[in-house]
Amino acid sequence: MREVLHLDNPHPNTYLGVCAAGGRGRAYGGHIAAHAVLAAHRTVDPERAVHSLHGYFLSMGRPDEQVQYQVQTVRDGGTYALRHVTARQRGDELFTLTASFKKVEDAADRHVVMPPAPDPAALPTQSEAADRLWSGIDPASPIRRVVDVRPVLGDADDGGAENGGQHRRMWFRIASGMPDDPALHTAALTYCSDLTVARTAALGHLRATGTTGTPAQDLYLASLDHAIWFHRPCRADDWLLFVHQSPTSGDGRGLTTGQVWTRSGTLVATVNQEVLLRTRRSTTNPEPALVP
């Protein structure tokens, strides 16, 4: 994973990285966001950790091509620091990110109890649910190699459609051990957080004729924005439970919100994403289906 997140630093506040494919011919948005927050982290005092990020996807990136991340220092206060990052490829703006960092403070600590979920060790390493999850990811993408996922069986089928909502539960972790660098673990969590949120917003909208992910489908998905609040530190190479739900969709958009928990039940992050949901125009080279 450290290799996947590698950034060159040719000039002050300028970083260069190469992003993997998500869908066919499209850079994976989670990779761009992970690189952007890591670039911002590299310009902040190491005693400060990111506590929130807010990003907007502006245009589609090309996989396996260099992306430039330009970091602007907005504020360095006594406790908080703010950075703005612009990601460009071939001169075009792909993504903008605002990330806020802070020093650790002693304060009262509380959070809600983790919802019930099977332990990841009780879930199969391979399943139809996992195959469906990977159906929208380019088969050659390193995402499949570096991330281990264990969807909770039945969620995609049930859909959680009571009262108009949709939900999923998924365990994930970075497949191999990572160094003890909190910035890398934050970036890795950001990398993984974009895997299924768009698909959850699309539950109930997808129409496919099979279960392998190969038939064409008529729904176009694209992330519009992505926000994460980091509540507590965690290791991304340990199992994390991602519980996410889509409370609404309409007007060509869908919203997904979720929480990330450690295996021991500690709430470590909250994720929100709005996604474009649009009927795809006819094409002679349709993308593989996203199977719900």
Query: Helix 182-193 vs helix 29-41: angle between axes, to the nearest 10 degrees?
Result: 160
Report residue 278: phi and psi, to 5°. -140, 140
- Domain limits, the chain: 8-103+120-279
Cα→Cα distances 162→117, 152, 249, 251, 275, Å: 19, 18, 14, 21, 21
Among 12-21, 117-126, 257-266, the range scoring the smallest mean pLDDT is: 117-126
Mean per-residue pLDDT of the chain:
87
**Cα separation, 20 vs 148, whole angstroms:** 16
Sheet strands (E) in the chain:
8-11, 14-18, 48-57, 66-76, 80-89, 92-103, 147-151, 166-174, 219-230, 240-250, 253-262, 267-279
Residue 84: how many CB atoms within 10 A of its CB? 16
Instruction: Tell me the per-residue pLDDT of 136-164, one tens digit each, with 9 for 90 and over.
Output: 788 888 898 999 999 987 765 444 444 45
Q: According to the model, what pLDDT value does residue 217 have?
A: 56
Nearest to residue 250, comparing CAs of 177, 173, 164, 182? 164
Q: According to the model, what pLDDT value does residue 119 have?
A: 95
What is the longest distance spanned by two Cα atoms in the chain? 59
pLDDT of residue 214 exceeding 70, the answer is no
Instruction: Tell me the per-residue pLDDT of 232-288, one tens digit each, with 9 for 90 and over.
Output: 999 999 999 999 998 888 899 999 999 999 999 999 999 999 999 887 765 555 454
Burial class of residue 206, CB neighbours in 10 A (0-12, 13-18, 19+) = middle
Q: Record the tokens describing residue 262, joined without a space.
A: 């450690």
pLDDT of residue 220 exceeding 60, the answer is yes
Report residue 246: phi and psi, to 5°. -115, 105
Instruction: Tell me the per-residue pLDDT of 44-82, one tens digit each, with 9 for 90 and over.
Output: 999 999 999 999 999 999 999 999 999 999 999 999 999
The CATH code of domain 8-103+120-279 reads 2.40.160.210
Residues taking part in catalysis: 194, 223, 273
